[in-house]
Amino acid sequence: MTQLSDRPDAGSTPPPSSTLAVTALTATAPAIWGTTYLVTTEFLPPGHPLMSAVIRALPAGLVLLAITRKLPHGAWLWRSLLLGTLNIGAFFALLFVAAYQLPGGVAATLFALQPLFVVALAFLLLGEKPTRWRLGWGLVGVVGVGLIVLRGQLSFDLWGILAGIAAAGVMAGGIVLTKRWGRPEGVGAAALAGWQLTAGGLVLVPLAFVFEGLPPALDLPAIGGYAWLAILGALLTYPLWFSGIGRLPVVAVSFLPLLSPAVATILGWLFLGESLTPWQGVGFVLALTAIAAAQLSSDVVRGLARVPTTPRGE
């Protein structure tokens, strides 16, 4: 039986000074993704979530391919297809199924299980020993997100719950495999993002046409909303995200998407007149603390826990 370490990530070294900057830059991706709910509900035509996902992913992927002028070859053909399916195609499809079958708060809480899945997969695929520190903060993060987004009476649908859990699982798999395989020599994060966004978008195209068909004629707000999702929500953020996965501990990165429901809730309060309760304030504190605590290395935590002793008589 695998034993858990009492340290957050045994054997790690103190992060360089640039780690905070890399973490902050990577965190902007899930923070911007938190605007998706507001943009979708206020600007996009209803009833076309899969087509919206295609418009978000595929053009951004093609633009990145044109900019980087690098195409996958060899083993990276099937790797790009698999990663694109996990991180983009299957993830978006399952997430939308969960969103349609469950209250948004329940779906967001299920997705907050992702760091726990990453801990397990990182052990199986990367040999990273699970730790009580990050498992504990993973549970705290789930509780925090639940307090932020769960409101009123809840309804549960079995297929929705399974889809929400599966969405967290496939993105966790995508994160860990992205870390395991890295990038081919000479290929940057922008090219890798282009490969995955294109592959994921192509996977979604037939699903969108079969289940939804073409969206209605778009007005100016809808065009602006799609532009926001494609440019800010994909073209600029996914290169940052994949760069962060390559440069930071994979489990630490997996906590950053907890920012998305927090940002979505704040935007709902600012622009939609949604109320905030004291319990939601507690949830914000728990979620943000979990994100921050998960970034700490074992040496940092040991240093914080070390209590200096004072000789008697002084």
> pLDDT category, 3, cuts 50, 70, 90?
very low
In a domain, residue 295? The reply is yes
In a domain, residue 312? The reply is no
* Identity of the residue numbered 311: P
What is the rounded distance in angstroms from the CA atom of residue 304 to the CA atom of residue 155? 43
In a domain, residue 307? The reply is no
Distances (CA, A) of 67 to 73, 116, 199, 233, 275: 18, 36, 17, 18, 43
Q: Comparing 143-152, 198-207, 294-303, which segment has the lowest mean pLDDT?
A: 294-303
Query: What tokens appear for 46 in the block?
Result: 């209803």
In a domain, residue 313? The reply is no
In a domain, residue 8? The reply is no
In a domain, residue 285? The reply is yes
- pLDDT of the residue at 2: 42
> pLDDT category, 119, cuts 50, 70, 90?
very high
> pLDDT category, 303, cuts 50, 70, 90?
low
* Identity of the residue numbered 176: V
- pLDDT of the residue at 47: 83
What is the rounded distance in angstroms from the CA atom of residue 162 to the CA atom of residue 138? 20
- pLDDT of the residue at 65: 98
For the chain, the three-class secondary structure string (H helix, E strand, C coil) is CCCCECCCCCCCCCCCCHHHHHHHHHHHHHHHHCCHHHHHHHHCCCCCHHHHHHHHHHHHHHHHHHHHCCCCCCHHHHHHHHHHHHHHHHHHHHHHHHHHHCCHHHHHHHHCCHHHHHHHHHHHHHCCCCEHHHHHHHHHHHHHHHHHHCCCCCCCCHHHHHHHHHHHHHHHHHHHHHHHHCCCCCCCHHHHHHHHHHHHHHHHHHHHHHHCCCCCCCCHHHHHHHHHHHHHHHHCHHHHHHHHHHHCCHHHHHCHHHHHHHHHHHHHHHHCCCCCCHHHHHHHHHHHHHHHHHCCCHHHHHHHHCCCCCCCCC
Q: Name 5's bridge partners.
A: 131
- pLDDT tens per residue across span 157-170: 788 889 889 989 99
**Highest-pLDDT range among 102-116, 250-264, 295-309:** 250-264
> pLDDT category, 128, cuts 50, 70, 90?
confident
- pLDDT of the residue at 117: 94
- pLDDT tens per residue across span 54-73: 999 999 999 999 999 999 99
In a domain, residue 211? The reply is yes
Distances (CA, A) of 183 to 23, 24, 195, 269, 283: 19, 22, 11, 40, 36
> pLDDT category, 273, cuts 50, 70, 90?
confident
- pLDDT of the residue at 25: 96
- pLDDT of the residue at 105: 65
- pLDDT tens per residue across span 5-45: 433 443 343 345 588 899 999 999 999 998 988 898 899 88
What is the rounded distance in angstroms from the CA atom of residue 251 to the CA atom of residue 116? 9
Mean pLDDT of 216-230: 94
What is the number of structural domains in the chain? Answer: 1
> pLDDT category, 314, cuts 50, 70, 90?
very low
Range of the domain at 179: 18-302
- pLDDT of the residue at 298: 60
In a domain, residue 5? The reply is no
